[in-house]
Structure 1
């Protein structure tokens, strides 16, 4: 994801940004290209960055393939915990 800083001098751009605070907007150019304008919160940015972390995604994919599990009773026994 790339951040681009723009000037809000244009009344049209400022109006679009204000609308995007409340709901996502699809912006369409005369050539038919469409874009989504959406307000972003920090959590959404963090999710995108996490998904771009190839090492983490590979680790999670690998872990997701594991079928062997350890019961709670076995964990308690190994840690010398009582019920």
Structure 2
């Protein structure tokens, strides 16, 4: 895990962090990437917060409905191919 120290916050960042103190926040980027922001006090508390978060449970429910599955073997093959390409470059 990488640690980033935030010295100045925009109003948006400040309000997002305020919400994250109460419950996990799901962040959607314009390019489609998704991130979860939660207060990192300790792992057990984080697990409890996610377990008790209705919005996070709904998110997991929606994600589980996705019919597209990628076999682990295919992912391993793609990683091996990328490693071969990057090592030969």
Relative to the length of structure 1, the TM-score reads 0.48
> Which is higher, the Rg of structure 1 or of structure 2?
1
Which one has a larger percent helix, Structure 1 or Structure 2? Answer: 2
Relative to the length of structure 2, the TM-score reads 0.45
